[in-house]
Amino acid sequence: MTRALLSWPTGLRRLALGLFLGSLFLPSPRLRAAPLPIPADGSPLLRIQGSNTLGAKLGPALVRGLLEEQGLVSLHEEAVAENEWKVSGRDVQGREAWVQVAAHGSGTGFTALLAGSAELAASSRPIKDSEALALAGAGDMRTERAEQVVAIDGLAIIVHPGNPLASLDSERLARIFAGEAKTWEELGGQGGAIHLYVRDERSGTYDTFKELVLATRGKALAASARRYESSDKLAASVALDPQGIGFVGVASVGAARALDLADGPARAMPPSTALIATEDYPLSRRLYFYIKPGEPNPWAQALINFAQSPRGQALVAQNGFVAQTLQAIESPSDPRMPATYRRLAGEARRLSVNFRFQEGSASLDNKARQDVQRLVDYLGAQGKLQGRVALVGFGDAKTDPQRATLLSKLRAMAVRRELARGGVVPREVMGLGDELPVAANDDGGRYRNRRVEVWLY
């Protein structure tokens, strides 16, 4: 057999050898990972605390999926208090196993991690410096192990379905919620006084809006705003109020209507799945699970792994959020695009991922590092690892346009370097500088403009 193999052409010989070696490491179809332990004292398998955006629907759905994957049956979900759920099932011996999900705002998740009353924090915003410092004794909460992006969401600016307003820019939006624009007539519409609907102080949704819209313009929320703990209840109230305007995650728009939104020189964008997936939409945001680096509870890590799996990401989409599963998206050519970019739009398809970087760094952020493997897997499944990808870097505006172009290409080259470890050889690597911004050139906008797009031939 060995002599016969040596007589084969080199390429075929390498393929055969690769298949043989790969087979040595394939798990037997009869073998299955041992089921996770169930506490004998009836205590919960796992306690999750934090974001209402994550916890209201998606959190329990992911828990049910994990319990089912672990072989539990008779799955059941019940509300035990306002914004608190018990998700349970039974094992083959009839023992009850259950998970506690409490959704009172992102900040409560980090408080619970610190107090030891939860193993996972669900958050609709990144961990704050003060929270990371308080939890530093447990390890670095900003590592790839501790910080897991499980879904993408977008804050939708919502109005009554009969409101004729079609779009807003971020500056006018800030003026509205600061109480400086008081009537719809000031915005070119009609209806009298503007009624503001916002999430409560503990909400990551409110934190995101405050940071991206109000704080960047030196404004504070108007005292007249009506506060809600639940996004769904907020949206339902706006849908019944012709003078109302509010903001919720896209999964909670309900019967209200979402407006298009522009930031700085970028075009107005709807909160569409494609624009949220790439995080081009101005109020895109990431939804996180945070886990202490040394957390011993195996169910906590198992839920994270399940959430990142294809089945978990399918549940993300089914529950109204944007999954991180890669797909081709529509990118029609536009005469205002640079010529190189127009050619790409005509010959290739853009993929639903943008690589972004740690603030003030040339290193990929935690989500981007996860996306590298997703892209490698996607290209491998399609047989397009070699010469089928274009990486297009963008940056923020600089005094010297040539410097902006150079930095944008260096970002694309950084992504190429990471992809090369997975066997990906791009066809093109280019930098387009500060062309086609998706945000204003302020602190938050510069982070979003510094991106690398992926196009597939």
Q: pLDDT by residue (tens digit) across 270-319?
A: 999 999 999 999 999 999 999 999 999 999 999 999 999 999 999 999 99
Tell me which CATH code domain 46-150+287-318 carries. 3.40.190.10
Residues 350 and 454 sit within 8 Å (Cβ to Cβ)? yes
Q: What is the dihedral of CA 109, 115, 120, 125, to 10 degrees?
A: 30
Alpha carbon 75 to its chain centroid, in Å, reads 27
Question: Residue 294 in contact with residue 276, Cβ under 8 Å?
Answer: no
> Which among 417, 255, 319 has a CA at the least distance from the CA of 56?
319
- Please list the rounded mean pLDDT of every run of 10 residues in the chain (457 residues): 43 39 38 78 97 93 98 96 96 95 96 98 96 98 97 96 95 97 91 96 91 92 96 97 96 96 91 95 96 97 97 96 94 86 94 90 90 97 96 89 91 97 97 92 81 97
Torsion angles phi and psi, residue 27, rounded to 5: -70, 145
> What is the C-alpha separation between 303 and 301, in angstroms, rounded?
5
Query: b/e for 250-282, b at 16 or more Cβ within 10 A?
Result: bbbbbebbbbbbbbbebeebbbbbbbbbbbbbb
Tally of CA atoms within 13 A in the half-sphere of 129 that contains its CB: 0
β-strands 120-123, 46-50 pairing: parallel
User: What class is the 326-456 domain?
Assistant: alpha beta
pTM: 0.82
The CATH class of the 153-277 domain is alpha beta
Q: How far apart are the C-alpha atoms of 247 and 258, rounded to whole Å?
A: 9
Computed on alpha carbons and rounded to an integer, the radius of gyration of the chain in Å comes to 24
pLDDT in tens, 95-148: 999 999 999 999 999 999 999 999 999 999 999 999 999 999 999 999 999 999
**Start and end residues for every CATH 3.30.1330.60 domain found in the chain:** 326-456
φ, ψ for residue 415 (rounded to 5)?
Answer: -65, -40
Q: Where in the chain is the domain with CATH 3.40.190.10?
A: 46-150+287-318, 153-277
128: tokens are 């704050």
